[in-house]
Amino acid sequence: MNSKIWYWNIHWESRVKETWTYWVVQRLDGISYGEGQGVIMTKDGSDVATATGRTEGRMTDSGE
């Protein structure tokens, strides 16, 4: 199998703090598939949730 795999971490803050770890693989047919796990918490840390996510898609010619 000839594919590319990317790993990254995402962190941002607004009303809550979110931190995600994601991986993405680009398949030979040009479709990218990824999965990740995240932690979402209020700024004061009083509430915490975990989340999982999946994504699949293809880049268009315009890059969107």
pLDDT one-digit tens code per residue, 16-60: 888 888 888 988 888 999 999 988 888 888 889 999 999 899 877
- What is the distance between the alpha carbons of residues 10 and 18, in angstroms, rounded to a whole number? 8
Higher pLDDT, 64 or 47: 47
Domain ranges, ordered by start, for the chain = 10-57
pLDDT at residue 1, as a whole number: 42
Fold classification of 10-57 (topology level):
N-terminal domain of TfIIb (2.20.25)
The reported pTM is 0.60
Under DSSP, is residue 53 helix (H, G, I), strand (E, B) or coil?
A: strand
CB burial readout 9-35, b (16+ within 10 A) else e: eeeeeeeeeeebebebebeeeeebebe
β-sheet bridge partners, residue 41: 17, 48
